[in-house]
A = this chain, B = another copy of it.
Amino acid sequence: MPTWLSRRRPPVELPRLRPRESATQATRIDLHEVMPDLLPYLGQAAYLQLEAFQTLSRVVGQVDDLAAKESVAAAAGAALSKHQGIVAEIRRRGDDPAEVMQEFADEIDGFTALTTGADWQETLLAVQVTNGLLDDFFIRLAVGLPGDVGPRMAHLLGSDGGQDGVMEVLRNAIGADPRLASRLALWGRRLVGDTLLVARSALHLSGNTATDEERIEPIFTELIAAHTRRMDALGLTA
């Protein structure tokens, strides 16, 4: 079992509304302190997209409806494009993508195992929830990257990932089976903790729990707020 799985869960607070300005201000200060180095950032982001691609591709094979297959395949293709964009960024620096990604392989493979559901509906919600959250997270971190990599990464990760189509597939599934909603709501809540652990593992933390929590709390609060909006859009309680 990768070591990070046994780490104590961060005491994540429930989303609170606050003026956007002050939240951004607070996050900017924290980012500087906890910002990962460029190569680990790129390696982790690249491997996460590769995993999302693989998971979505698996769901394409599990879905019967051809229109749903189309939508999930489009999302898989988008994850692959993002992966390839990040890999190009690693190559541009003269580094070997396989080497840079390698150190995250065990951690993220473990994460994928944890977020693989009992059926394709759960797995698809998991990709939507975890990828949505981690894309947001890496976009937030991008502002702290050196040179012009940051804007390129923010643009790449923020580009259309086919989420609308996936949302429709999930809504149709929920509409066809009323019991699915409560199962997915529960599953979605379980996923958030594990996803935030992956996000947390990207950061340079001081080891001083109080200081660390103070620094990352504003980022995580925003991530959870965005997560809540995504679950709302599916009619699920976050």
Contacts and interface: CB of A to CB of B under 8 A. Distances in A.
Interface stretch (A16-24, A58-66, A132-140): A58-66
Contact of A73 (B50, B66, B70, B102): B50
Interface in A91-126: 96-98, 101-102, 105
A69 interface: yes
A83 interface: yes
B61 A101 contact: no
A77 interface: yes
6 contacts: A50-B60, A50-B73, A53-B73, A54-B61, A67-B98, A77-B81
Nearest to A57: B57
Q: Which 3 A-B pairs have the closest CB atoms?
A: A57-B57, A66-B98, A67-B98
Given A54-B60, A77-B81, 9 more contacts: A57-B60, A57-B76, A66-B98, A66-B105, A70-B87, A73-B80, A73-B84, A74-B84, A77-B77
